[in-house]
Amino acid sequence: MTRFRFAPIPAALPATVPFTGPETLEARRGAPFRARLGANENGFGPSPLAIAAMARAASEVWKYGDPDSHDLRHALARHHGTAPENIMLGEGIDGLLGLLVRLMVAPGQGVVTSDGAYPTFNYHVAGFGGVLHKVPYLDDAEDPSALTRAARETGARLVYLANPDNPMGSWHPGTRITAMLDDLPASSLLVLDEAYAEFAPDDAIPRIDPEDARAIRFRTFSKAYAMAGARVGYAIGPAELIAGFDRIRNHFGLNRIGQAGALAALEDQDWLAHIRAQVAHARTRIGAIAQENGLTPLPSATNFVAIDCGRDGAHARRVLAALDAEGIFARMPGVAPMDRCIRVSCGPGAELDAFAEALPRALKAAG
């Protein structure tokens, strides 16, 4: 019998961590990984200007971070051509998703997502007592039509869609997303996760007015800007909705060093262009490695490639375990039929060399 009486909602939930980090996995295996290609981190690194800004900010870490993120918020508003009142900063997209669910979903209310989509959103919905309704992927992509149908059938408060998608790397044209908005019931808000937007084709990004009450969009400095450890994300949405975050957010949650680094990274668009080129090259390389081993790389608009291992989830899990034994950290989708794939993040040449060397042996070990 436990000595503690948790509140009813958390008392009914398992104690889980959506992702086991490579550090924990390295401790379990008793050796470091040769290639860290599983968390969709940007191994090409942040802008040198961002590194210098964070180093300078470290000497002032005795100060709290600005709870309004004034400088970064205004810079993002200029970058996106909107008002500062349409921008909210937070501890990565993950933290902001949790705040949005808390703000918009009462216990027992419905939320729609795709079965196999980014699991942290589901984690927050469960944590605040919402009811998840899931629809299947269609042709390895999230299905906007099925999502909107489910929203109408369930009266969902939120409808989650990532574009480009994680874990498959697929994407929809922006016009498909704007058409989806027209189909949503008035009671539903589209939660558009654009974590990988900087890697996507221009026509994949929908033109949505920030004051459009049907949508809220999320961006991050974790991917293209290579600052995953700094935990800086932001939302773009109607001013009234954005102001709602001030009712519940951790006002000192965004640290001073991360704010300084994100501001410098945003101002270094030349480095962003360099990263895009590096990622595009790495995607091509991963695809070639897959094909050399008789596997099929799926098209990707992200900084990772889903590789179809040609059989079922059990086989893909054996491949993943064999890669782990070879010192290669990768991941895979968790839901059939996408779990026939493994997912390999773009990384520097030496890490892809290690993957290329290990993959044939892993496939042989997996049978």
The string of pLDDT tens digits covering residues 145-157 is 999 999 999 999 9
The string of pLDDT tens digits covering residues 236-274 is 999 999 999 999 999 999 999 999 999 999 999 999 999
Task: Report helix angle 119-127 to 92-104, nearest 10.
Answer: 40
Assign 1 a pLDDT band (cuts: 50, 70, 90).
low
> According to the model, what pLDDT value does residue 172 have?
98
Nearest to 241 by CA among 224, 207, 219, 216: 216
The string of pLDDT tens digits covering residues 82-109 is 999 999 999 999 999 999 999 999 999 9
φ, ψ for residue 227 (rounded to 5)? -130, 45
> According to the model, what pLDDT value does residue 19 have?
86
How is residue 116 written in tokens? 């196999």
How is residue 16 written in tokens? 């889980």
> According to the model, what pLDDT value does residue 186 have?
95
> According to the model, what pLDDT value does residue 354 have?
98
Over residues 4-19, mean pLDDT: 90
CA distances from 278 to 65, 159, 271, 346 (A): 32, 33, 10, 9
Over 60: is that where the pLDDT of 347 sits?
yes
* Average model confidence (pLDDT) across the chain: 97
Over residues 122-135, mean pLDDT: 97
> According to the model, what pLDDT value does residue 16 have?
85
Q: What is d(CA 326, CA 316) in angstroms, rounded to the nearest whole number?
A: 15
Q: What is the DSSP string of 47-110?
A: -HHHHHHHHHHHTTTTSPP-TT-HHHHHHHHHHHTS-GGGEEEESHHHHHHHHHHHHH--TT-E
Confidence (pTM) = 0.96
The string of pLDDT tens digits covering residues 166-225 is 999 999 999 999 999 999 999 999 999 999 999 999 999 999 999 999 999 999 999 999
> According to the model, what pLDDT value does residue 17 have?
83
Residues 312, 359: contact at Cβ < 8 Å? no
- Lowest mean pLDDT across 10-19, 292-301, 349-358: 10-19
The string of pLDDT tens digits covering residues 24-80 is 999 999 999 999 999 999 999 999 999 999 999 999 999 999 999 999 999 999 999
> According to the model, what pLDDT value does residue 244 have?
98
> According to the model, what pLDDT value does residue 233 have?
98
Q: Provide the residue type at 348 as one letter.
A: P
Residue ranges and CATH numbers for the domains of the chain are 20-45+270-366 (3.90.1150.10), 48-267 (3.40.640.10)
| R_g (Cα) of the chain, nearest Å | 21
Assign 18 a pLDDT band (cuts: 50, 70, 90).
confident
